[in-house]
Every structure is written in structure tokens, then in C-alpha cells.
Amino acid sequence: MRASAGFAARSIASRSGHTFRVGSTLSEKVWERHVVRRAAGEPDLVYVDLHLVHEVTSPQAFEGLRLAKRRVRRPDLTLATMDHNVPTNDEPAEDISARQIDAMARNAREFGVRCYPMGDPNQGIVHVISPQLGLTQPGMTIVCGDSHTSTHGALGALAWGIGTSEIEHVLATQTIAQTKPGTMAVTVEGVLPADCAAKDVILGIIARIGTAGGTGKVIEYRGAAIRALSMEGRLTICNMSIEAGARAGMVAPDDVTFAWLEGRPFAPKGALWENALDDWRSLVTDAVASFDRDITIDAGALRPYVTWGTNPAQSVTIDGAVPDPDALPADARESARRALRYQELVPGTPVRDIAVDAVFIGSCTNARIEDLRLASEVVRGRRVRSGLRALVVPGSMRVKADAEREGLDRIFRDAGFEWRDAGCSMCLGMNPDVLRPGERCASTSNRNFEGRQGPGGRTHLVSPAVAAATAIAGHFALPADL
């Protein structure tokens, strides 16, 4: 029934859009399955399978419910945690953060929403805990008041960030009214060089398509190099889809996905697991389907990337140098000049000659166990460059516990890193982990916007391996340089 409605709508769109398309892409399939209501001239009303909530963007939404005397329609499909402004050391939260943390706890209690608060073994960055618990599953629709919700697409879910008004709408109705997004394929063929990571793939993609390259569209990441990635790597790539402006990012579920999910606390069990698997295997883009936009990238040509500017598209490879704005395309020059002024960088400076004051290994982009293993291998038996501040902030308390079981905490501490509790921390500077004005940081996070890690701070986005090597060298470096 729903499928035929979707087909009818497609035919109409095709007639007016001058292109005839058959078959469906992965994102279209998931979207069509969730359409509760479709009417001409209106956005689709789409059902939300999982609504993730955190302390920063939700208080005004709960207040809206209270004022309108509305309830949360499906507390059983809503999960809250605290991640953005929680302290990651033993210090208590600052007063104003504590007020927001308390509000989250109070709202969760009042509206019957399950919340993993500070101190809970399941607490952590919302985009790390949901996949880890097995809550994020193929074919689901997932929303959260956070733009990095695109992360969950790594498991074949359609997941996107929403604003506070939309949070209130989802809390009250378990649906969201939105126009169907466009489609885009990014095919990464070939084999990734050994010193490159998933982070370098997504930074390479953003360098190619720009910060608005995916606007209005869901990007499906495809190709041999994507298939060869671990689930952690795919999570990193989908996470930064929003940095290319995309509504969401997805990878079709495959055996990597299923092996990763099986046995996790909220994953289906027994016969339900088998039923789910049968269904999940159908979640692929039809061979005859086409995308609104389709680009191909050669993985073999990628190198480790370092951003030099103040948006994630302003990057060069680690073997490169700070660009001369005059040598860039005309429409990129003014932003580049402004960025170089802010970053206090001189055109022509080799990337490896840029010294840093701080290194941050963390965030929903790169703070999973695989990231910490990789970084710990680089710093094992070495020392952080004297005078440099280096932090490891695990993505969740479970990641932290797993890392400690493997002894990774000792390796980091022995090298001179601070070993913290889970949270967003220095990714966005909402807790006391901030850069001081003028400080330069190699960060495994996702945004190098002006002041993102603290007013006046300067951010360079890199992979965990480059961050770790940079902490030891004191300037941008690859592990092989040490």
C-alpha cells in the first residue's frame, strides 16, 4: 500500500521534473516506508523510529509541551542523555551547565523519558551510545536535535538533525513533516592508502564537493573503499555528511553491519533477528535507480588531510602547504583570506611546519574504541611534546571502560595525555575544556569554525593517527614521521 503510493508520487515528480527514473535508492526506500501521510502540496508526514535527545537543544521543546499541555507520544522510542556540556573530569559542572543538566533530568522524569545521566555506565555522546547499544538499526528513521545525527546512517538508518521546534513536534507526535530529500551518490572506489583513515576519506570528499555540496540531499556512500571500512570508519564518514551540507549520509547495510549489530543490547534476538536480517538485506539501492547527483572518488589518490581554514572544506594534504588565496578560485578567495587572518597562517607554509599548542582526540566523529586503539598505537612508549596540552575524551563511558580493559588509558597517560570521562568536550567548548584565545589545536572533531573550540581558538581537523603523531612531534606529522 505504502509502496504503491510512493511509486505514484514518483511518477508525478518525474513528469514535472523532466527526468524519468525507475527503481529506488536506499534513502528513498527508507523514506517511503515511513510515510504516514502524503498529500499534494504538503510535506510528507514521516514516522520517527527513534528520537534521541540531549540537554542543550531540548529544554525549550519540553517547555513547549508543558505550556500546551501535551505529552510525549512515545517515550519508548525516545532516549535522552547528557553530553554537550557535562564536565569530563572530576570538577562539578558550572552553575549554568548544571541548570541545564538538571532540566534534562527533570524533563525526562516528568515526561517518562529514559535518560542516561552523568555517572551512568551508558552515558556518552548521543551519536556514540545509540549505535553501541544496538538501538541504531538498518532501515530506521532517527532524528535528534543535533546536526551530527547523520552519523547513524552508517548502519543504513536514515538519520538527520533537527531544530528545537521540530524536537517538540516529534516529542508530541512521533512524526516529522518534511519534504522528501534529494539523492546523491558518493562512490569511493579503489583501496585507501595504509596511512589514510575514514576521516581522510570524508575530508577528501568535502574538499571536492564543498560545504554546500550535499544541500537538500541524502548522500549514499558506496564503492569498494566504503565496503572495506569497519563500522567505526563508516560512522566517522556519515557523521561529517552535514559538513558537506547534506541532510543525511548513509551506507547500505552489509555483513559488516550485521556482524557489528548482533548481540548488542537492543538488537533483535532469535527469530526476530532472522526476520530483521531478511528485511535489512533488501535495503540497497536498486541497480536501475539513479541519483540526482553522482560523483566518484579514487581512494588510492587520497592522502591524510589537515584543514588550514575555518570551514571543513578548507583543507590540504599533510604533504601540502597553506594555500595562497590568490591562487584559489575567485569565489573562494575572500573566505580564504579571512580564514588565514583568523588562523594566523602564511601562504606557502608547509603543513608539517605548523606547530600546535593542543591536541584533542574525541567527539562523535572520532572517539570510538577503534580510534583510541589506533591513536594509542602511535603514542605507545613516546612522550607528548613538552608544553603541549593533549586530551583523550572517549565517546562514551562504555568506550572508556573498554579502553581501560585493554590498557589504552595507561598508554595515553604514560605518554602525557589527560584521560577523561565521556562527553562532547573540546569539540564545541561548552564545558570547561576550551582552547585559550590564539591557541592552535589538532583535533579529531568535525568543525574548524572560528572559535568552535573556544573563543579565539584555532582548529585543524585531522584523523586520530595524525592527531596522535602531532601530539608527539609538536607539529603536524604522520606516525611514519616519528
Partner 1 sequence: MEPVRVVTGRALPLGRANVDTDQIIPSHWLKRIERTGYGLGLFEAWRKDPSFVLNDGRYRGANILIAGANFGCGSSREHAVWALQECGFRAVIAPTMADIFKSNAIKNGLVPIELSADAVSRLLAAVQADATTSITVDVAARTVTAPGVNASFALADFLQTQLIEGLDEIALTLRHEREIAAFETKRAEWLPRVR
Name which of residues 348 to 407 contact partner 1 (CB under 8 A).
Answer: none
Taking the complex as a whole, the smallest distance from the CB of residue 418 to partner 1 amounts, in Å, to 21
Do 57 and 85 meet the contact criterion of CB atoms below 8 Å apart?
no
Q: Applying CB under 8 A, which of residues 11, 14, 19, 179 lies at the interface with partner 1?
A: 179
Rounded Cα distance between 376 and 381, Å, is 9
Pairing of strands 293-298, 175-178: unpaired
Work out whether 452 is an interface residue with partner 1 (CB under 8 A): yes
Work out whether 455 is an interface residue with partner 1 (CB under 8 A): yes
CA angle, 162 then 164 then 167, to 5°: 70
Q: Applying CB under 8 A, which of residues 276, 302, 306, 468 lies at the interface with partner 1?
A: 276
Closer to partner 1 by CB, 48 or 374: give it.
Answer: 48
Closer to partner 1 by CB, 14 or 60: give it.
Answer: 60
Work out whether 60 is an interface residue with partner 1 (CB under 8 A): yes
Taking the complex as a whole, the smallest distance from the CB of residue 237 to partner 1 amounts, in Å, to 18
Do 462 and 443 meet the contact criterion of CB atoms below 8 Å apart?
yes
Taking the complex as a whole, the smallest distance from the CB of residue 86 to partner 1 amounts, in Å, to 12
Give one word for 396, left, alpha or beta, with left for phi > 0 and alpha for psi -120 to 50: beta
Work out whether 68 is an interface residue with partner 1 (CB under 8 A): yes
Q: Applying CB under 8 A, which of residues 47, 303, 320, 474 lies at the interface with partner 1?
A: 47
Work out whether 279 is an interface residue with partner 1 (CB under 8 A): yes
Stretch that binds partner 1, among 22-30, 51-59, 369-377, 407-415 (CB under 8 A): 51-59
Tell me which residues in 222-251 interact with partner 1 (CB under 8 A).
242-243, 245, 247
Work out whether 335 is an interface residue with partner 1 (CB under 8 A): yes
Taking the complex as a whole, the smallest distance from the CB of residue 287 to partner 1 amounts, in Å, to 25
Q: Applying CB under 8 A, which of residues 28, 32, 44, 49 lies at the interface with partner 1?
A: 49
HSE-up of 276 (CA within 13 Å, CB side)?
A: 19
**Coil, strand, or helix at residue 274?**
helix
Grid cell of 368 as nine digits: 570510538
24 burial (CB, 10 Å; 0-12 / 13-18 / 19+) is buried
Q: Applying CB under 8 A, which of residues 9, 45, 105, 289 lies at the interface with partner 1?
A: 45
Closer to partner 1 by CB, 124 or 245: give it.
Answer: 245
Q: Applying CB under 8 A, which of residues 9, 89, 117, 164 lies at the interface with partner 1?
A: 164
Grid cell of 421 as nine digits: 570521562
Closer to partner 1 by CB, 418 or 450: give it.
Answer: 450
Stretch that binds partner 1, among 163-171, 185-193, 281-289, 320-328 (CB under 8 A): 163-171
Report DSSP letters for 2-35, one per residue: HHHHHHHHHHHHHHHHT----S--HHHHHHHHTE
Tell me which residues in 132-151 interact with partner 1 (CB under 8 A).
134-135, 137, 140, 145-147
Work out whether 97 is an interface residue with partner 1 (CB under 8 A): yes
Tell me which residues in 256-275 interact with partner 1 (CB under 8 A).
266-268, 272-273, 275
Rounded Cα distance between 325 and 244, Å, is 21
Residue with cell 500500500: 1
Report DSSP letters for 319-375, one per residue: TSBPPPGGGS-HHHHHHHHHHHHHHT--TT-BGGG-B-SEEEE-TTTS-SHHHHHHH
Q: Applying CB under 8 A, which of residues 89, 187, 211, 349 lies at the interface with partner 1?
A: 211
Closer to partner 1 by CB, 400 or 447: give it.
Answer: 447
Grid cell of 433 as nine digits: 575544556
Taking the complex as a whole, the smallest distance from the CB of residue 56 to partner 1 amounts, in Å, to 5
Q: Applying CB under 8 A, which of residues 7, 12, 20, 43 lies at the interface with partner 1?
A: 43
Work out whether 329 is an interface residue with partner 1 (CB under 8 A): no
Taking the complex as a whole, the smallest distance from the CB of residue 321 to partner 1 amounts, in Å, to 22
Q: Applying CB under 8 A, which of residues 89, 311, 317, 349 lies at the interface with partner 1?
A: 311
Closer to partner 1 by CB, 131 or 233: give it.
Answer: 131
Stretch that binds partner 1, among 220-228, 346-354, 411-419, 426-434 (CB under 8 A): 426-434
Q: How many chain residues touch partner 1 (CB under 8 A)?
A: 84
Q: Which residues of 72-110 are buried (b: 16+ CB within 10 A; e: fewer)?
A: bbbbebbbbbbbbbbbbeeeebeeebeebbebbeebbee
- Closest CA relative to residue 306, chosen from 322, 324, 328: 322
Pairing of strands 305-307, 315-317: antiparallel
Report DSSP letters for 116-176, one per residue: E-TT-TT-B-HHHHHHHHT-S-TT-EEEESSGGGGGGGGGT-EEEE--HHHHHHHHHHSEE
Work out whether 169 is an interface residue with partner 1 (CB under 8 A): yes
